[in-house]
Amino acid sequence: MSTNFSLNPDQKIADLKEHVKHFIAVLSGKGGVGKTTVAVNLATALAESGYKVGLLDVDIHGPDIVRMLGGNALPAVDEDEKIIPAEVLPNLKALSISMMVEEGKPIIWRGPLKHSAIKQFLGDTKWGELDFMIFDLPPGTGDEALSLFQTIGQTDGVLMVTTPQKVALDDVRRAIEFVKAMNQKVLGIVENMSYMRCKDEVVYPFGRGGADLLAQEYGVPVLGRIPMDPKALELLDEGKPITLYYRGSEVEKAFRELAENVAKAVEK
Ligand SMILES: Nc1ncnc2c1ncn2[C@@H]1O[C@H](COP(=O)(O)OP(=O)(O)O)[C@@H](O)[C@H]1O
Ligand SMILES: [Mg+2]
């Protein structure tokens, strides 16, 4: 019989932490601002730069990373009953609840079940040696984020994704206060849909200045500004990560800069 069964959960998490250099959670105040987009493209950009990356979908009710990553790589279970995450790209492993349930079926798990799923994804999964593990969270301050932080303890920090309009900021502030209450730090802010280029003109469909205001208020850096781009939306919907399928674009450049800034920020 495998000795793994005698490991208590804390020991399993301690083991995980020994093999993963940096843990980063991607969070936002509300839905639809681009958390999954940021998590997926940050992960692919880091993986392409040579880092070993794990991407864990902690958004149990809206698990979108598989749709945005494309491909049909699936996780497996080995003889010790440990989960082996899907190898989606060289250097990039991913795991999502949607890889394990029937497509299109709603997921009706409640708190305790979600908590145990998250614990298994962390403690009973063979992630191997990683430089970065990135968590894609559901919006706000719900069960999943609570379970994640309770289980994993200290992370390297949270990336707070926001759109620039100032009306959205109250939600972000609440999320930042939650992050602080969880004893986590905000690594930085990512402003998504920051601007849009129409021919030679730059327009601001969602206003300007939101991320800078937050950065000032909380003394944290803006680590990335991602432009809005209809072509990017199309590619994301087709499961084609920007850094792989939209080379030379401004959005791709923005994601690569974000990845560099994140790598620098955790090394500090
Ligand atoms: N910079 C962008 N340009 C164009 N479309 C985007 C951009 N960022 C996100 N989207 C689109 O917006 C929608 C919501 O993004 P998503 O990452 O799923 O948000 P969240 O995870 O915060 O709910 C998706 O359809 C995505 O393709
Ligand atoms: Mg999402």
Q: Which ligand has the shortest distance to the CA of 40?
A: 1
Is any atom of ligand 1 closer than 6 Å to the C-beta of 162? no
Q: Residue 80 sits in which domain range?
A: 3-267
59 neighbors 144 (Cβ within 8 angstroms): yes
Mean pLDDT throughout 64-74?
A: 85
Ligand 1, atom 2: closest residue by C-alpha: 228
List, for residues 192-228, the tens digit of each pLDDT value: 999 999 888 999 999 999 999 999 999 999 999 999 9
> What is the CATH number for 80?
3.40.50.300
Q: Look at residue 2 in the predicted model and tell me its pLDDT.
A: 45
Nearby residues of 110 by Cβ (< 8 Å), 6 or more positions away: none
Lowest mean pLDDT among 6-10, 76-80, 164-168: 6-10
Q: Tell me the CA–centroid distance for residue 196 and ligand 1, in Å.
A: 14
**Which residue has better confidence, 70 or 92?**
92
Q: Name residues with Cβ closer than 5 Å to ligand 2, which is an ion.
A: 35-36, 64
Q: Look at residue 70 in the predicted model and tell me its pLDDT.
A: 86
Question: Which residue in 242, 226, 231 sits closest to 68, CA to CA?
Answer: 242
Q: Check whether 262 has a pLDDT greater than 50.
A: yes
Ligand 1, atom 23: closest residue by C-alpha: 32
Mean pLDDT throughout 160-169?
A: 89
Q: Look at residue 142 in the predicted model and tell me its pLDDT.
A: 85
Whole-Å CA distances, 142 to 59, 60, 106, 138, 254: 10, 11, 18, 8, 29
Q: Tell me the CA–centroid distance for residue 136 and ligand 2, in Å.
A: 7
Ligand 1, atom 8: closest residue by C-alpha: 34
List, for residues 223-237, the tens digit of each pLDDT value: 999 999 999 999 999
Is any atom of ligand 1 closer than 6 Å to the C-beta of 235? no
Is any atom of ligand 1 closer than 6 Å to the C-beta of 163? no
Ligand 1, atom 9: closest residue by C-alpha: 34
44 three-class SS: helix
Cα–Cα distance, 214 to 170 (Å, whole number): 10
Q: Which ligand has the shortest distance to the CA of 250?
A: 1
Task: Give me the number of domains the chain comprises.
Answer: 1
Is 210 annotated in a binding site? The answer is no
Q: Look at residue 1 in the predicted model and tell me its pLDDT.
A: 42
Is 207 annotated in a binding site? The answer is no
